Structure formats: C-alpha cells, structure tokens
Amino acid sequence: MSFASAGLFSSVRKSLRPILGFLVATTVAIAGSTAAAQAQSKKAAIVIDASTGKTLYSSSADSPRYPASLTKMMTLYLTFEAMSAGRISKDTRVVFSKYASSRPPTKLGVRPGGSITVEQAILGLVTKSANDAATALGELLGGSESNFAKMMTAKARKLGMSSTTFRNASGLPDPGQKTTARDMAILGMSLREHYPKHYSYFSTRSFAFGKSRMPNHNKLLGRVQGVDGIKTGYTRASGFNLVSSVKVGDRKIVAVVMGGASGRSRDAEMERLIAAYMPKASSRGSNPLIAARTIEPQAPIVASVASPLHAKNVPAPEARPEQVIETAYARPLARPADPIADAVAKADAPTPKVEVDQVKTASVTPSAAPKSGWVIQVGSVGSEAEARALLDKTSDKAAQLLASAEPFTERFEKGGTTYIRARFGGFSNQATATKTCAALKKRSISCYAVQQ
C-alpha cells in the first residue's frame, strides 16, 4: 500500500468513526429499551384484604404469568390435604426416583432410591424450594408427575383459580404452565384457611438437612412486621415472584408481586405494598372462611371480573369436618390397614372424590336410578357436574367392561352435607357386579359393588 493510499484509508476511517459510534450507541439503547420493556411486561401485583376478600390494589393481576416456584404452593396444598385425610403422615417416606433426583437445582440432592420423610420434603420446599423434593412428592401423591400436575390443575379449578394450568410439581420452566397474580392470592389464602395447622411450615426460617442448614429464600420473614410466609419463585421467563401473607393485630392481607427485575427490587415492592395497604385493611375481624367467598374486584382499576375464590366443594379448615378430595386413578399409597376407615367405607361413607382435568359437564347423560339390583359405585362427590365427569371418565377408561352398564347419579345426605353418588347399574347379580368391580380396580379405578 502506498503512502498516499494509507493516508486516504486513515482519512476515511476517521470520517466513519462518528457514524459507527452512533450505530453502536443506538443498538445498545434499543437493546436496553427492549430489555426494560420485557421486564415491565412481566410485572403484576395484587393486594387482598384477607378479612373481607376485597381487592385493595391490582396491577395486571389477571394477566397470564409464569408461576416459577410459586407452583410449589399447590404441591404443598395437595400434600397437606393428603396428611389431613390420613393418607400420609409427616413420617411417611418419600422415595426419589431417578427422574426426581435428576431435577436441576435448587435441590436437596437425594440419590435415586434414597428417601426422606414427608416433613423433610415440606421443609425442603418452603425453605430451599427444592425441585427434586417437589417432584418426589408429586410422584408419591399422583403416581407420576404428569398425573400429579393434572390433579394440581383440577384442584386449582375447585379453588376458583380459573386462569391457572400446572405442568409439573416444582415450577421448573414449561411454556404451558401459567397463572395470574390473582390466582396466586387465592392459593395463598386457601393454604392458610384450609390447613392452618400445616400453614406454620411457611414461617420456617431455616432447615437442617444432613450437614447443611438451608435458610428460607423469603427474606421478609422476621424483617417485615406480620409477614409469616408464603413463597418465593424465580425463573428467567417469570422474573422474581413473591406471595406474602401478613397479619398485624386484626388486619390481614395477602399480597402478590410477580415479575420483579431482581430479588431485592421484588422485596422492596412487596414492602411498599404492605406499608401502603395494610392500614386500609379491615380491622373488624372476619368469617374464618374468606377463601369460601368471592374476592371483590377493585373498581375501576381491575378491568376484568374477579375469579370466584371458592367453588362450593373446597375443603373446610381442619377444625371442621373435611371433605377428602383425591384421585382414584393415582397409584395407591402404601399404608397399613385401617379397620376404622374400612368400617366407615362399609357404612357407605363418601368415597374419595376424583379430580378431573377441568370440572365441567361431561358427555355422559346419567339415567334414572334403578329400583333394584346390583350396582357399582365409583365415587361420591359434592356436585352433579363432578359426578357426571367421573362417570364419563370411568366410561372412557373402561369402555368394554361397562358397555352394557347404565350410568346414574344419586343424592344422599350425611352429616348435614349433600353428596352425589356416581354409579353404574344393570348388573343382574352380585357375582357379576363384584367381578366387574374387580376388573375396574385392576385399572386403578376405585369402586365397590352394592345392592340397590
């Protein structure tokens, strides 16, 4: 290159330098604004007066968001339900499958085939948010994590969480797993009101496991007056999430912050909401079942109608008689024979409810109850719609066995509560009904034969 050519190249490069600088600055600015817009789009929040059900504050509370580890709140709800029903205890062993052990951190690190107690699993979820323990609990209660996720979604519908779908027990990323801030508030309130004896786990500050002590990820515990839980969550897609339950004197609120840019900013936003809206909460006390009523939307900020906070079959608090809800299609839990429970079953106590993917009117049209003969009962639930859904699901699962049977529903009262039996009739004798029921049980369908 000649001296003249080199000088020309240097001159051109100098003249282009401002243009290149402008392009770089513009690209950085665009990237920054895009990141800011994405962070903003994740944000959502709600504050509910836990004494009245009134929405005190709402921002994008009904917009779809990723729950991240807030998902574990539902895993724990179903765990508490199983404990209250006596199907498991805090000392029941939770065995880790190869799949459960393979879940990415955060985790307890239990090897395949190893086990911990249910209580250890609970503490692992509320403190370290252990993904492997959540999956193992799901497999224990549902037979598989995918089946457990269906149970979770069905339970969400029963609680009034109409915008939530679960795909796993832990909250690990899945594009199909969605919720809203309002639905998470419903779940937080339901946990506290339906299982008050177990709710105290959420206030655990740390958990000793092996040689390690695991602090609770919820930094507001012990720092903000009245905060007693509930759960944090984070994935890259969700941002930083937090559900808080707060009680100061006679005032109670449940608050949700989703999509925070960092754990610190999320916590700061939660503190701001608590400080701003706790004084506005009712101090008159409340019916102990706020989760049995509809959360009133805040007007005019909330554009959409609030989801009902309670479907009529939500279990009552532990201090009251509780309706046991479980799946008839899950792998049965190993436990010793219970002669008292067997006696109750023989006395025609309601059989466990069956969760369905969504509670809706099924395609089966039940016929009138037969006047006599032998029938097979597959469940006793709290509504006609659930009974029809159960009959439809059973018919789909065992179409050949029940091809000539007639599905029907039948109401009965027990302890002041109305239940709906889901039954199949048309069996000419006890032997036929008993044989058919035995075949259904081989397909993991709970049932028993009874003379009408």
> How many Cβ atoms from other residues are within 10 Å of residue 290's Cβ?
23
Point out the catalytic residue in the list 42, 72, 247, 353: 72
Active site residue 72: yes
Point out the catalytic residue in the list 58, 63, 69, 238: 69
Measured CA to CA, the distance from residue 153 to residue 127 in angstroms comes to 24
For residue 231, say whether it is annotated as part of any ligand binding site: yes
Distant-in-sequence, close-in-space partners of 361: CB < 8 Å, separation ≥ 6: 385, 388, 389
Q: Which residue has the tokens 């008050």?
A: 196
**Helical spans, DSSP H, in 172-296:** 181-194, 196-199, 263-277
Q: Which residue has the tokens 């105290």?
A: 200
Task: Kindly state the helix (H) or strand (E) to which residue 8 belongs, with its residue range.
Answer: helix 3-42
Instruction: Read off φ and ψ for residue 277, nearest 5 degrees.
Output: -110, -15
Q: Which of 327, 297, 53 is nearest to 188 (CA)?
A: 53
> How many Cβ atoms from other residues are within 10 Å of residue 59's Cβ?
16
Point out the catalytic residue in the list 51, 58, 101, 129: 129
Q: Which residues of 409-420 are buried (b: 16+ CB within 10 A; e: fewer)?
A: bbeeeeeeeebb
Q: Judging by beta carbons within 10 Å of its beta carbon (0-12, 13-18, 19+), is residue 251 exposed, middle or buried? A: buried
Three-state SS for 391?
helix
Three-state SS for 113?
coil
DSSP string, 231-255: EEEEETTTEEEEEEEEEETTEEEEE
Cα distances from 158 to residues 69, 307, 308, in angstroms, run: 21, 11, 10
Active site residue 282: no
Measured CA to CA, the distance from residue 133 to residue 136 in angstroms comes to 5
Q: Which of 107, 307, 101, 303 is nearest to 189 (CA)?
A: 307
Cα distances from 282 to residues 59, 269, 300, 371, in angstroms, run: 21, 22, 20, 54
Contact criterion met (CB below 8 Å) for 308 and 337:
no
Cα distances from 104 to residues 23, 109, 112, 299, 326, in angstroms, run: 40, 9, 14, 42, 28
Active site residue 69: yes
Instruction: Mark the binding-site residues, compressed into ranges.
Output: 231
Tell me which residues are annotated as active site: 69, 72, 129
Instruction: Mark the binding-site residues for substrate, compressed into ranges.
Output: 231
